[in-house]
Amino acid sequence: MKLLVPVKRVVDYNVKVRVKADNTGVETANVKMSMNPFDEIAVEEAVRLKEKGVASEIVAVSAGPSAAQEQIRTALAMGADRGILVEHDGVLEPLAVAKILKALVAKEAPDLVVMGKQAIDDDMNATGQMLAALLGWAQGTFASRVEVANGEATVTREVDGGLETVTLKLPAVVTADLRLNEPRYASLPNIMKARKKPIEVVKPADLGVDPAPRLTVLRVEEPPKRQAGAKVASVQELVEKLRNEAKVI
């Protein structure tokens, strides 16, 4: 069984994101970049499926600048077998990524795509759902448990107020939630070994995909600073302030 694992290069989760001075986006120059944390969880799940003997090959894919090879290498060091970089320097919206992944699915014929539920830079939470829709495949989103057997994936999903378990006929798309697993750190020997694993580089046009954005970002702004709180001496004072200052009651 073959697994495709998309991994996105994003601003590292420890970095405080700053808006560019001209309000066109967020600053990424000289900022630490890493693999999207939910994608690390997806890679870990894929590697565990391989360790259990369920999967035989894991292909890690990233769409983005040449530097996204670093995130593919991280996936290779964690246990993926080979990588594909779909090189593109501009903005890639979820629909463009989903079309790119659809074209790679046609080429690679994986049985399962395991990806993150959401990228922490744009918080779209859309690519997995769009990919499943474009392929006409089943989807198990927000997965906190995945079992694969007999041509089916049983996925426990984190839904509002509880858990839902669905059975998907393969091929299917699964998106990883936070509690699915705890990703491993790549060991030094595995980092060294990953250097020798192959990464194929293609362009969106080679896959027949036009990645041009369909949305125009008008302006990006920092959220307003929170006002300092104040202590009140009594319930009466609180009610008075809520009524006359905040005007909420």
> 3-class SS at 204?
helix
Residue 177 and residue 155: Cα distance in Å, rounded? 11
Q: Which is nearer to ligand AMP, 80 or 119 (CB)?
A: 119
Structure tokens at 2: 């073959």
Q: Is 181 in the site for ligand AMP (CB under 6 A)?
A: no
Q: Which residue reads 């990524």 in tokens?
A: 97
Q: Assign residue 109 a region (left: φ > 0; alpha: ψ between -120 and 50; beta: otherwise).
A: left
Structure tokens at 100: 């790119």
How near is the Cβ of 60 to ligand AMP at its closest, in Å?
9
Which string of x and - marks every residue 7-36 that binds ligand AMP (by CB under 6 A)?
A: xx---------------------------x
How far, in whole angstroms, is CA 216 from its chain's centroid? 22
Q: Is 92 in the site for ligand AMP (CB under 6 A)?
A: yes
| Interacting residue with ligand AMP among 79, 83, 110, 116 (CB under 6 A) | 116
| Interacting residue with ligand AMP among 15, 19, 124, 202 (CB under 6 A) | 124
Residue type, 77: A
Q: Is 38 in the site for ligand AMP (CB under 6 A)?
A: yes
User: Residues in the site for ligand AMP, rule: CB under 6 A?
Assistant: 6-8, 36, 38-39, 61-64, 92, 94, 97, 115-116, 118-119, 122, 124-128
